[in-house]
Structures are given as C-alpha cells and as structure tokens.
Amino acid sequence: MRDRRAERRESTRAEILDAAWEQVREHGLAALSLRDVARSVGMQPPSLYSYFDSKNAIYDAMYAQGARECVEAQQALKPLPDDQLEALKALLHFFVEFCAADFARYQLLFQRTIPGFEPSPESFKISEDNLAEIGEMLARSGVTDPGSLDLLTALGTGLADQQISNDPGGDRWIRLIDEAVEMFYEHITKKAKKPSKGRRTR
Amino acid sequence: MRDRRAERRESTRAEILDAAWEQVREHGLAALSLRDVARSVGMQPPSLYSYFDSKNAIYDAMYAQGARECVEAQQALKPLPDDQLEALKALLHFFVEFCAADFARYQLLFQRTIPGFEPSPESFKISEDNLAEIGEMLARSGVTDPGSLDLLTALGTGLADQQISNDPGGDRWIRLIDEAVEMFYEHITKKAKKPSKGRRTR
DNA sequence: CGGACTATCTAACATAGTTAGGAGTATCGA
DNA sequence: TCGATACTCCTAACTATGTTAGATAGTCCG
C-alpha cells in the first residue's frame, strides 16, 4: 500500500504545521524558528526539508491553512439573512471576530509582516476566491459601487485591526460593529436616492 | 570642548538611523540587518554598539523618530478649521497620508511586527501624548463620547491600512476620506439629537 | 533476497546579533 | 606639557539561525 506512506507523510506535515502555529502564537509570527519546530516534533532541523522546501514554504502552507479556515468560517454564515442590513452586520461580525480570534493568523493573512514572504499563487487564490465571494454577498446586500465597497472594507479592517491590536480578548470594537454598519447602510441608501455625481459640497 | 564630542556622537547616531531607515524602506521593517547598516556607514558591526545598546534600541530610536515626525506633521495642521466637519476631514487626511507616506514607518509605529520589540516608555510617551492631543482636537470638533471616538479611529486606521496595503502610491482610499467623514459626521450629529439609550432598533 | 526509494541523521556553511578585549586617539586635570 | 582617562573602533569569537551535502538506516516491491 503506497497510500500508507502518503498518509503518514501528510500527517507529519500536519504535525509540523501544528507545531509551527503553536510557536507563532506563543512568540510572534516572525519569530518562527525551524529548529524549535523540529525539536517539538522530535526531529533534527534538516529533516523538516523532506516536508517543506524552506521556511517560507511553511509560512505558505500556514497561509493556505488560515485562508481555508476563513472560507470555512464564512460558509457557516450561509444562508445570509434576507434583510440587507442584517446581512451586512453578519458579514462584518464574521470578519472582525475571525481576525480577533488569532493575532498570528491575522498578521499572516492580512499584513505584510515577513520580509521575503509572499503567498504562492495557489495559496493566494484561496484568499482571492474568498474575497470574490464576499464581494458577491455584499452585492446581494445592496453594496454595489466600488467606492462603497472600499469604504466598507476600510471599516471592517479598521474595526478588526483596532480590536485585535488594542483590546485582544475583549469586545470593545466588536460592540461597535452594528452601529458602524447602520451608519454605513444609511449612508449608501441615502446616496442611492440622490445620485448627485458632481459633488457640490464645499 | 566636550560639546564637540557629543555633537559628533549625535551626528553619527543620526547617520546610523538614516542608514537603518533606508534599509528598512528597501527590504522591509523586520529585515533590518546591523551588519548592512554598519557597512553602509563605514563601520564594523560591533562598533554600532557604542551608539546603540542593541538592535531593538535602534528600532526604539526609529520609533521615537517616527513618532516625532507624526507630531510635527500634525502641528502643521494648526489652526484647524472652525467648521467641525472640515476639521475632521483635515485630521483624517493627515493621518491617512502620514501612514501612506512610509510603509516601514507605518509598520513600526502602528503594527506589532517585530517579536521582542516594544517601544520604550519614553518613546511610547511621544505617541501617547500625540494621541491625547488628537483626542482633544476631536473633542473640539464635536466627537466626545468614547464609542464615536473608537468608531472614527477604526475608520481612520482602516482607510490608512487599505490605502498603504493595497494601493501604495495611489489615492484610492484617500479619495474616500471626505465621504467617510461626512458619513461619520452625519451619524454622530443624528445620534446627538435623539440620544435613545436603550436601542430599540430591531 | 536485491534494489530502489525515503526518511532521517550528522557535519558543515553562511549569516545573524552580540560580547570580550585590545589598539589607537582625543580630552582633561595637574 | 604630561600622564591619566574616556571614548571609538577594531578583530576575534560565541551562539543561533536557515540551509545544503552526504551518509545511514529502514521500508517497500519485484
């Protein structure tokens, strides 16, 4: 049975990634040490290279893993409430809470923290597809024009960033999500009514 | 003249910091290499230790420098427009553009990117005082309650983060600042009119 | 059993931050 | 002016990092 081998290999890979996540959650994303990872799975450092081509390959696998977790968490949202306002609230809650749940993962997925590391096209595609789907969800919730989409994105990332940076474990910014979405929703509905293109204000 | 020495020392420190900034802007904040810095100022690596206690001490000095730059850029805003809406716009423009102007500086000041580095109390105080002053400015512009302040903070950091992460050199999110502030301002003025504490919506 | 494949090891290399200790030079008090 | 002091800069070396090369043992298949 050749599968036995592949299976064992895959499980060792997973073990290594688990150890890496633990490391990274403990000491910071950029502080990942191959030697410590190796030690914690009972190997010598060079042995890791049978499973990953480099340290960045490990980061890449972690990125893909994190992105897949994001997809899963997002699937759990479906079906979205019919009410557009509620749907938006649900989406933003999902995003902020996903980010706040794991700082290292947040950094890996959404910040350019590690010099020399960029997710591989395959890994990045997971995020990209996910983003596209969120875009569709938003479109179905009435957010169509690019500007509004950017604005909502900024609002979401801002809430997530503040939450995880300044109140990890708390809910200071999470509590603001509903209010923020209401503000945003009122704004775009008003904008839709009077599409005064040439801005006259001031 | 003992001053001569101190002066020369100070100028060498500045030279080192300049080299460090260049490094960091080129290769990423976390990729700062003492050896390269030393080489670029014409020294051997250990010689840097006459000027800074450690690599983190260099980061700390850079942090202080960045924070001071932030203070300066902010002073240039005064006097703020009397009109509250315009004042808020000016403040957010200042912040987003300050962030977008230098990614490495942004990371150093506003993200926890480097494991093991925390700004020293003295350096952090610069940021803190600055933040306090921004708080006052906002209060004078009508943003008083903590929730609204947090909301605006999230909006600002979100715009800045999206701008510098996804459109460096462009103005995609900068263009949204005015709209975002208008949205926010309308929201808080409306909230002030009917302070319905117990939320009844939904 | 023999041969291929694979996982793992040890040894070693380059580079990183950092420390120790010494050589040379400017500064200051007497 | 002279000797002591302090300071700057150096070389050498230590530890830790990611990574490569090459050898060794174990496992699977014909």
Q: Measured CA to C1', what is the nucleotide nearest A58?
A: D18
Residue B146, pLDDT score: 93
Q: Which residue has the higher pLDDT, A15 or B6?
A: A15
Q: To the nearest whole percent, how much of chain A has pLDDT over 70?
A: 94
| B128 lies in the same domain as B187 | yes
Contacts of B24 (CB under 8 A, 6+ apart): B31, B32, B62, B104, B108
Quick: pLDDT tens for A59-72: 999 999 999 999 99
Residue A192, pLDDT score: 79
Distance between CA atoms of residues A195 and A125, nearest Å? 35
| B109 lies in the same domain as B30 | no
Q: Half-sphere exposure (CA, 13 Å, Cβ side) for B56?
A: 8
* Rounded mean pLDDT, A188-201: 65
Residue B199, pLDDT score: 46
Contact B72, B61 (CB under 8 A): no
Residues of chain B with pLDDT under 70: 1-3, 194-202
Nearest CA in chain B to A112: B165
Distance A53 CA to D23 C1' (A): 21
* A151/B162 Cβ within 8 A: no
Of B189, B202, B87, nearest in space to B140 by CA: B87
| B73 lies in the same domain as B135 | yes
Rounded-to-10 torsion of CA A93, A97, A100, A104 = -120
Which residues span the domain enclosing B108?
Answer: 62-193
Could you identify the residue whose CA is nearest to the C1' atom of nucleotide C8? A47
| B80 lies in the same domain as B141 | yes
Pick the range with the lowest mean pLDDT from A149-153, A159-163, B196-200.
Answer: B196-200
Q: Measured CA to C1', what is the nucleotide nearest B36?
A: C16
> Does the pLDDT at position A125 exceed 60?
yes
Query: What integer best gives the mean pLDDT of chain A?
Result: 92
| B141 lies in the same domain as B107 | yes
Selecting from A30, A180, A184 the residue whose C-beta is nearest the C-beta of B113 gives A30
- What residues in chain A have their Cβ under 8 A from chain B's Cβ atoms? 27-31, 86, 103, 107, 110-116, 147, 150-151, 153-159, 161-162, 165, 172-173, 175-176, 179-180, 182-184, 186-187, 201-202
Place of tokens 């306090």: B132
Distance between CA atoms of residues B73 and B92, nearest Å? 12
* Rounded mean pLDDT, A6-22: 93
Residues of B whose CB is below 8 A from A109? none
Q: Is residue B107 part of a domain?
A: yes
* A113/B30 Cβ within 8 A: yes
Distance between CA atoms of residues B55 and B71, nearest Å? 25
- Output the domain CATH number for residue A172: 1.10.357.10
Q: Which two tokens stand for residue A198?
A: 């040439």
| B39 lies in the same domain as B77 | no
Q: What ipTM was assigned to the predicted interfaces of this complex?
A: 0.91
- Output the domain CATH number for residue B34: 1.10.10.60
Number of domain units in chain A: 1
Residue A78, pLDDT score: 84
| B43 lies in the same domain as B122 | no
